[in-house]
């Protein structure tokens, strides 16, 4: 199977992927703020630079893209058919880094929750999960 985009177009698409302020992250931020919770953004002093940090609650939220962070059994996390050797290595490295960051944060006494990109498609279903985690 070949890529239906030219290498230049694929490169441009990948270059536009954001690590901060993505649409799923903004949806979670808006939801949590609307529920009355306040947070810090992208704490550089913590492992993994968490997306949302709730210092008084010792809670952290990561908003992960399904593709980039390897969400298991998710339609958005399918590996590309081209250049598989590169992508498998890249995504495995991301997965391992995430695992180490979560472990380090928990050792520091933080409670951590990962919100997946696909979960932001149904905010009504996500809301009670966030409320339980943040209480």
**Residue 73: Cβ-neighbour burial (10 angstroms; 0-12, 13-18, 19+):** exposed
pLDDT digits (tens, 9 = 90+) for 91-115: 999 999 999 999 999 999 999 999 9
Q: Which of 47, 38, 22 is nearest to 117 (CA)?
A: 22
| 116 in Cβ contact with 71 (< 8 Å) | yes
Reported pTM: 0.84
In tens, the pLDDT along 30-89 reads 999 999 999 999 999 999 999 999 999 999 999 999 998 999 999 988 887 788 898 899
Give the integer Cα–Cα distance in Å for 76 and 69: 11
Q: What gap in Å lies between CA 42 and CA 22, rounded to an integer?
A: 12
Q: CATH homologous superfamily for 7-134?
A: VSR Endonuclease (3.40.960.10)
Banded pLDDT at 5 (limits 50, 70, 90): low
């Amino acid at each position: 199977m070949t890529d239906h985009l030219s290498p230049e177009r694929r490169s441009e698409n990948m270059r536009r992927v954001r690590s901060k302020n993505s649409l799923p992250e903004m949806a979670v931020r808006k939801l949590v703020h609307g529920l009355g919770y306040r947070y810090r953004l992208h704490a550089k002093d913590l492992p993994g630079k968490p997306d949302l940090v709730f210092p008084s609650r010792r809670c952290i939220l990561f908003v992960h893209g399904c593709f980039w962070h390897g969400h298991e059994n998710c339609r958005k996390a399918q590996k590309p058919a081209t250049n598989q050797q590169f992508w498998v290595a890249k995504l495995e490295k991301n997965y391992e880094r995430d695992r180490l960051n979560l472990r380090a944060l928990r050792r520091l006494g933080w409670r951590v929750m990962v919100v997946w990109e696909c979960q932001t498609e149904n905010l009504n279903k996500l809301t009670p999960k966030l409320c339980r985690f943040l209480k």
